[in-house]
């Protein structure tokens, strides 16, 4: 079975549909939980699926360093290794080389760097990135790209974007013909409309199964990101999925979907679960706060996740304060459940043509803030 994308409905610029892959369907707009090192932290894969996730993201950079792509390949691939049978998207390693590794050296050929784990020396080129992602068995492979830190001057952004476009062509060549597996190009160009257009055209000329919006959610702020999303998705093909990388907070996600984005990923719901930050329809709750110590109510009385069905805020406060592992387990589950419910709500609203009123309700509910202290 080959990779395909069906659009079922649009509402304004928002779209809903399904990406069909050999390992199952991905309902869009889709949120992809991040399973950095072969696990969505503090979650069993079955529980991740229970939240409604159709696809996970794996990090090439982390997996190539430990346990290594070659080892995962010998063990039958990442799906089997981590016990997740459904689709996996892997990033190219580029972004995390830039943010995590030591002593990076960037050339036309690729990047050399030292591992943040043990200082060992590694190289990623577009060709090596394609090889690693093939060894992992990724269903959706990302082109190897470079993402400059913002703010940067126009020349830096243009040079970097054009390097990424040359790497995109090399990635396409190295990926070859792999039925059932998809390769996504990544649009760059910072906040500059002309560079975004040039990048999109370069990618379209090469031809990809899907198109990502890269170089956003890197500290530019929501307004700047939305300004780019007001024009950048329109530059990409209508009939292919559009993936906004590394986004985001719930209102980032809603705003991105409203601007035509189909896929997103972010560590926020899982990372926040471990630090006691909880996402609810009424905004963020910090479970560490003493106001919860005697509160018999659930985080959200309408939420159907195990944390809300079976536990009081007082319990969640207690286990967070006591640094019990179940705190990370329950809060991560809740956050991922919240994110998937958010996506499901948007898919329904877009399908029914009422996404604008859905968005109003979303923002009103969030603006209410948390329930009154008891």
Active site residues: 91, 265
Comparing C-alpha atoms, which of 207, 203, 217 is closest to residue 147?
217
Rounded CA separation 270/274 (Å): 7
In the list 7, 9, 37, 344, the residue contacting a copy of itself (rule: CB under 8 A) is 37
Rounded CA separation 303/338 (Å): 8
CA distances from 19 to 1, 26, 101 (A): 12, 5, 33
Does position 140 interact with a copy of itself (CB under 8 A)? The reply is no
Whole-angstrom distance between the N-terminal and C-terminal Cα of the chain? 55
In the list 238, 275, 310, 365, the residue contacting a copy of itself (rule: CB under 8 A) is 310
Q: Which stretch binds a copy of itself (CB under 8 A): 33-41, 144-152, 204-212, 339-347?
A: 33-41
What backbone torsions phi and psi does residue 307 show, to the nearest 5 degrees? -65, -40
Rounded CA separation 122/262 (Å): 33
What's the closest the beta carbon of residue 231 comes to a copy of itself, in angstroms? 40
Q: Which is nearer to a copy of itself, 83 or 357 (CB)?
A: 83
In the list 1, 118, 179, 296, the residue contacting a copy of itself (rule: CB under 8 A) is 296
Does position 44 interact with a copy of itself (CB under 8 A)? The reply is yes
Question: Residue 217 in contact with residue 229, Cβ under 8 Å?
Answer: no
Does position 374 interact with a copy of itself (CB under 8 A)? The reply is no
Q: Does an H or E element contain 214, and which?
A: none
Rounded CA separation 257/336 (Å): 18
Q: Which is nearer to a copy of itself, 22 or 293 (CB)?
A: 293
Rounded CA separation 374/372 (Å): 6
What's the closest the beta carbon of residue 290 comes to a copy of itself, in angstroms? 12
Q: What proportions of the chain, in percent to the nearest 5, are helix, strand and coil? A: 45, 20, 35
What's the closest the beta carbon of residue 329 comes to a copy of itself, in angstroms? 7
Rounded CA separation 44/326 (Å): 12
In the list 288, 321, 366, 371, the residue contacting a copy of itself (rule: CB under 8 A) is 321
Rounded CA separation 21/99 (Å): 31
Q: Which stretch binds a copy of itself (CB under 8 A): 223-231, 325-333, 342-350, 361-369?
A: 325-333
Contacts (CB under 8 A) with a copy of itself, residues 106-135: none
What's the closest the beta carbon of residue 324 comes to a copy of itself, in angstroms? 5
What does the per-residue mask of binding to a copy of itself show for 47-86, with x meaning CB under 8 A?
-------------------xx---x--xxx----xxx---
Question: Residue 210 in contact with residue 21, Cβ under 8 Å?
Answer: no
Q: Which is nearer to a copy of itself, 13 or 318 (CB)?
A: 318
Q: Name the site residues for a copy of itself (rule: CB under 8 A).
A: 37-39, 41-44, 66-67, 71, 74-76, 81-83, 293-294, 296, 306, 310-312, 314-315, 317-319, 321-322, 324-326, 328-329
């Amino acid at each position: 079975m080959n990779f395909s994308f069906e659009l079922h409905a649009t509402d304004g610029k928002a779209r809903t549909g399904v990406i069909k892959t050999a390992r199952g369907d991905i309902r869009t707009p889709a949120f992809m939980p991040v399973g950095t090192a072969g696990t969505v932290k503090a979650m069993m894969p079955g529980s991740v699926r229970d939240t409604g996730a159709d696809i996970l993201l794996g990090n090439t950079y982390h997996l190539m360093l430990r346990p290594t792509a070659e080892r995962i390949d010998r063990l039958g691939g990442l799906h089997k290794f981590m016990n997740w049978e459904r689709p996996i998207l892997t990033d190219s390693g580029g972004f995390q080389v830039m943010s995590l590794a030591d002593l990076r050296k960037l050339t036309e050929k690729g990047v050399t760097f030292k591992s943040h784990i043990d200082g060992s020396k590694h190289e990623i080129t577009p060709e090596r990135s394609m090889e690693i992602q093939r060894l992992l068995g990724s269903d959706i492979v990302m082109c190897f790209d470079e993402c400059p830190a913002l703010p940067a001057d126009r020349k830096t952004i243009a040079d970097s974007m054009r390097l990424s476009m040359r790497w995109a062509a090399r990635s396409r060549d190295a990926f070859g013909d792999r039925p059932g597996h998809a390769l996504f190009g990544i649009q760059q160009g910072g906040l500059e409309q002309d560079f975004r257009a040039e990048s999109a055209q370069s990618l379209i000329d090469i031809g990809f199964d899907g198109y990502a919006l890269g170089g956003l959610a890197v500290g530019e702020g929501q307004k700047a990101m939305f300004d780019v999303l007001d024009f950048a998705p329109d530059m990409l093909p209508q009939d292919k999925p559009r993936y906004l990388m590394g986004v985001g907070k719930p209102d980032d996600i809603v705003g991105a979907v409203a601007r035509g984005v189909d896929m997103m990923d972010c560590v926020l719901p899982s990372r926040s679960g471990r630090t006691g930050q909880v996402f609810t329809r009424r905004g963020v709750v910090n479970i560490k706060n003493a106001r919860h110590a005697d509160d018999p109510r659930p985080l959200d009385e309408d939420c159907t996740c195990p944390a809300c069905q079976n536990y009081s805020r007082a319990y969640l406060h207690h286990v967070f304060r006591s640094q019990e592992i179940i705190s990370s387990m329950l809060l991560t589950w809740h956050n991922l459940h919240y994110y998937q419910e958010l996506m499901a709500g948007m898919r329904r609203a877009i399908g029914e043509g009422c996404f604008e009123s859905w968005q109003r309700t979303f923002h009103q509910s969030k603006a209410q803030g948390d329930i009154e202290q008891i």
